[in-house]
Structure 1
Amino acid sequence: MAELDRDRVLAALAELDDAHALVLTSAGDGIRMAHPFSAWPMGFVVRGGDRLWWGGCAWDSFGIVAALGERLSILTICPHCGRELSYGAGPQDPPDADRVVVRVPRPAAEWWDDVVATCTAIRSFCSTAHLECWLADTGEPPGARVELERLWQLALPWYGDRLDPDWRPRSLEQRQEMLERAGLRGPFWQLGG
Structure 2
Amino acid sequence: MALAPLDATVRAAINAGFLAAGGAPPTADEIATRTCLSRDEVFDSLRRLDALGSVTLRPQTLELWTAPPFSATPTLFRVSCGGSLYWGSCAWSALGICALAAAPGEIHASLGGEGEDVVVQVATDGPRAPMPLYVHFAIPAARWADSLPYAHSMTLFFRSIDDVDGWSERRRLPRGEAVPIEQAYRLAVAWYGDGATAAGHMRHRAELEQLFASVGMDQPHFHLRPRHLW
Instruction: Give the Cα separation in 2 of the matches to 1:169 and 1:71.
Output: 27
| 2:143 matched residue in structure 1 | 110
Relative to the length of structure 2, the TM-score reads: 0.74
Query: Would the alpha carbon gap of residues 180 and 48 (structure 1) be closer, same or farther in structure 2, given more than 3 Å must change?
Result: same
Give the residue type in structure 1 aligned to 2:182: E
Query: Would the alpha carbon gap of residues 49 and 145 (structure 1) be closer, same or farther in structure 2, given more than 3 Å must change?
Result: same
Query: Would the alpha carbon gap of residues 54 and 165 (structure 1) be closer, same or farther in structure 2, given more than 3 Å must change?
Result: same
SS at 1:87 equivalent:
strand
Relative to the length of structure 1, the TM-score reads: 0.87
SS at 2:127 equivalent:
coil
Higher relative contact order (CA 8 A, sep 6+): 2
1:37-186 correspondence runs (5 A): 37-48=70-81, 50-79=83-112, 82-164=115-197, 167-186=200-219
SS at 1:94 equivalent:
strand
SS at 2:75 equivalent:
coil
Instruction: Give the Cα separation in 2 of the matches to 1:80 and 1:190.
Output: 26
Q: Name the structure where helix makes up a greater proportion of residues.
A: 2
Across the aligned residues of Structure 1 and Structure 2, the Cα RMSD in angstroms comes to 2.5
CA contact (8 A) 2:131 2:159 kept: no
Unaligned ranges ≥5, structure 1? none
Deviation at 1:17, TM superposition (A): 3.1
Instruction: Give the Cα separation in 1 of the matches to 2:113 and 2:45.
Output: 41
Seq. identity, %:
28
Query: Would the alpha carbon gap of residues 154 and 95 (structure 1) be closer, same or farther in structure 2, given more than 3 Å must change?
Result: farther
Unaligned ranges ≥5, structure 2? 1-28
Instruction: Give the Cα separation in 2 of the matches to 1:37 and 1:95.
Output: 21
**What number of residue pairs does the alignment pair up?**
192
Instruction: Give the Cα separation in 2 of the matches to 1:164 and 1:47.
Output: 22
Segments ≥4 residues shifted beyond 4 Å: 4-8, 18-21
